[in-house]
Amino acid sequence: MGELRQQQLEVEKFKNYFSFIKRPGAGKLLIWLEEIGFFTAPASTMHHGAYAGGLVEHSNNVYRRLVRLAEEEDKRQGRTFPEYTVETIAVVALLHDVCKADAYKPKVTGLCCPHKTPKEKPRWEYTNNFPIGHGEKSVIQIMRYIYLTEEEVLAIRWHMGAFDYSTKGGNHDMNYAFAESRLAAMLHIADMMATHLDERKVKTDETA
C-alpha cells in the first residue's frame, strides 16, 4: 500500500473515532486540526512516527490501546457498566498530542552513503512556539473548542508519565494524578504501548 493511501486511511479512521465526540465545538475543533496540519504532522523528529501522517497514526493506535485497557479494567473490577464513556476515551486518546500538530517543521538535508548516490530525504525539526509544557499545551488548545472534565484534564496533562520534564525536578503531582484517576494511568500506559509496541521500528540492514 502506498504511503499516501496509508495516510488517507489513518485520517479516515481518526475521523470515525472522532465522531464519538458529540460536545459543542467538536466540529470546529476538527476543522482546526485540519487547518493546523494535524493530519500531516509527524509524531516525533526521529523516533516513533517520524514521518508525515505519523501523528494521526499514533493517535489512532493510542485510542485502540486505551479502549482495550479500559475494557480489561472494567472486567477486572467486575463492573456491569463501563467506568468511562467511549466519548471520554476518544477525547483523551485522540487529542492527547494535539500540541505536536504545529510543533514540527519540515526541512531537507542531504544524505550521502558510501554505496549510494547522495539524495535528499525529508526530515523534521522541533519548534517550541508555545513553551507552556507538553500536556498543558494540549489541554489549553483543546479547551479553546470543547470542554474537558477534570479527569480528562488530568489524563491529558500527565500522559507522558515520568517522561514529563516536571517530574525530573521532584514534582509529585503525576503520582497524585495516577492515584486519583485510572483514566490518567491508562492513557499513559496506552501511549507507551502504542509507541513501543505498535510503532516499534523493524531493524533492517540500513537501520541496524
Contact 127, 104 (CB under 8 A): yes
Q: Where exactly are the structural domains of the chain?
A: 3-103+134-197
Looking at per-residue pLDDT, the higher value among 173 and 141 belongs to 141
* CA atoms of 122 and 42, how far apart (whole Å): 11
Q: Taking residues 88-112, what's their average pLDDT?
A: 82
Tell me what pLDDT residue 92 has.
Answer: 98
**How far is Cα 130 from Cα 100, in angstroms, rounded to an integer?**
11
Q: What is the mean pLDDT of residues 147-154?
A: 97
Is residue 203's pLDDT more than 80?
no
More confident residue, 113 or 63: 63
Residues contacting 61, CB < 8 A, separation 6+: 194, 198, 199
Q: What is the residue-averaged pLDDT of the chain?
A: 84
* 128 CA to centre of own chain: 17
More confident residue, 121 or 163: 163
Q: Which of 37-51, 67-81, 130-144, 151-165 has the highest mean pLDDT?
A: 67-81
Q: CA separation (Å) from 19 to 35, 85, 93?
A: 18, 13, 13
Whether pLDDT at 154 is above 50: yes
DSSP state of 194: I
The answer to whether residue 167 scores a pLDDT higher than 90 is no
Sequence-distant (6+) residues with CB within 8 A of 48 are 54, 58, 195, 196, 199, 201
Rounded to an integer, what distance in angstroms lies between the CA atom of residue 153 and that of residue 155?
5
Average pLDDT over residues 40-61: 81
Q: Average pLDDT, stretch 76-98? A: 96
Instruction: List, in order, residues 6 or more apart from 174 with CB less than 8 Å away.
Output: 158, 161, 162, 164, 166, 167
